[in-house]
């Protein structure tokens, strides 16, 4: 089955073609970073309008690039949540309308399930079961994954997600949008030993996260200094080390508690090089194996949606004619595929 995947959950318009026999055929992505940069963050109404402007041309582009006609498509998968409701509705309306016009099935895909399954697109994919760390701008989750649709959330952020904390701290430091990657670049020139930020909730049982307090530590550290470029680099480095060490500690705990030997790390923050290095070292010390998606599939993309949708369509799942989108959608409500 050839599946068209559509992703419009936030500020990136993405489409992809995934074939159940040949694998990923092609994908396209349009980022709205430049559109939102002057506002210092995503403006939902602008995001929705830009998705509406870009989505159909991207679909035509990916089909033309592969020399395919729409009659070759056997199903459509689209992100139905969680995310910005207006942006989600654009993708859902286009996907459902095309499915109805082309008389093919469509399926709603959970955005975080897409991220979770992204490493399965790699040449050496992980086998089930595994522990998944999903770490992005809007979510930080540890999940016990027994199969597609069989998810048990072990822990989650009680306040800011890790990526959100990165972005907010970057804004405190006067960095541009998107803040997370800018902070990571700044941290490369910082002195890791100058400041020591706490590792939140690592001194108590459980697998939940809390990152909002680290912003306060960054703000207080900056207020006590002159705010030179080196001061900011040192604060960025201390902040990043605290977030990464916290994630590594909780992943180690999750692997030990579940007894599983595989860790999947996905989501936008999974592209962070410091985190990858430290998680790899932790996995080796625990005699486990860690899996990451390639960098282009860490951030939002259509390939992960097309792949997840293909698996669900092949299992017989499809949507009614209703157009639905969900700003919030707990992963544990998903069923198997």
SS3 143: strand
Integer Cα distance of 299 and 84 in angstroms: 16
Check whether 300 is labelled as a binding-site residue: yes
Residues comprising the chain, all counted: 337
266 in Cβ contact with 300 (< 8 Å): no
Query: Any known ligand binding at 159?
Result: no
Is there a binding annotation on residue 261? Answer: no
Pairing of strands 12-19, 23-31: antiparallel
* Residue in 56, 151, 86 with CA at minimum distance from that of residue 327: 86
Cis bond leading into 178, ω under 30°?
A: yes
Is 152 labeled as ligand-binding?
Answer: no
* Tokens 């998680």 found at: 279
Flag whether 138 is marked binding: yes
115 is an annotated ligand-binding site residue? yes
C-beta of residue 246 within 8 angstroms of C-beta of residue 232:
no
The DSSP output letter for 296 is G
| 137 annotated as ligand-binding | yes
**Residue 17 assigned to a binding site:** no
Distance CA 269, CA 69 (A): 36
Q: Is 58 annotated as a binding residue?
A: no
Handedness of CA 113, 119, 121, 125 (dihedral sign): negative
CA angle 117, 291, 241 (to 5 degrees): 110
Annotated binding site for substrate: 134-138, 167, 180, 272
Annotated binding site: 111, 115, 134-138, 167, 180, 272, 300
Annotated binding site for Fe cation: 111, 115, 300
């Amino acid at each position: 089955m050839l599946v068209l995947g559509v992703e419009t959950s936030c500020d990136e318009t993405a489409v992809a073609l995934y074939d159940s026999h040949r694998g990923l055929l092609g994908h396209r992505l349009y980022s709205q970073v430049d559109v939102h940069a002057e506002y210092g963050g995503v403006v939902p109404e602008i995001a929705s309008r830009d998705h509406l402007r870009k989505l159909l041309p991207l679909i035509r582009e990916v089909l033309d690039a592969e020399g395919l006609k729409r009659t070759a498509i056997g199903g459509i998968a689209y992100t139905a949540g969680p995310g910005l409701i207006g942006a989600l509705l654009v993708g859902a309306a286009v996907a459902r309308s095309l499915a109805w016009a082309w008389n093919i099935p469509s399926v709603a895909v959970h955005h975080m399930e897409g991220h979770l399954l992204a490493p399965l697109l790699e040449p050496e994919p992980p086998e089930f079961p595994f522990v998944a760390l999903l770490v992005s701008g809007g979510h930080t989750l540890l999940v016990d994954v027994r199969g597609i649709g069989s998810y048990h959330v072990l822990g989650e952020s009680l306040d800011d997600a890790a990526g959100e904390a990165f972005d907010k701290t970057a804004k405190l430091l006067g960095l541009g949008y998107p803040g997370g990657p800018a902070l990571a670049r700044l941290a490369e020139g910082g002195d890791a030993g100058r400041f020591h930020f706490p590792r939140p909730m690592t001194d108590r049982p459980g697998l939940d996260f809390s990152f909002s307090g680290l912003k306060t530590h960054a703000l207080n550290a900056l207020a006590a200094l002159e705010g030179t470029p080196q001061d900011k680099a040192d604060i960025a480095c201390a902040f990043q080390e605290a977030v990464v060490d916290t994630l590594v500690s909780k992943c180690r705990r999750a692997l030990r508690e579940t007894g599983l030997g595989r860790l999947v790390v996905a989501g936008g923050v999974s592209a962070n090089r410091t985190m990858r290095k430290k998680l790899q070292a932790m996995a080796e010390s625990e005699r486990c194996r860690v899996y990451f998606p390639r960098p282009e599939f860490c951030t939002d993309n259509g390939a992960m949606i097309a792949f997840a949708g293909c698996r669900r369509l092949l299992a017989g799942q499809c949507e009614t004619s209703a157009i639905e989108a969900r700003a919030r959608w707990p992963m544990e409500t998903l069923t198997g595929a």
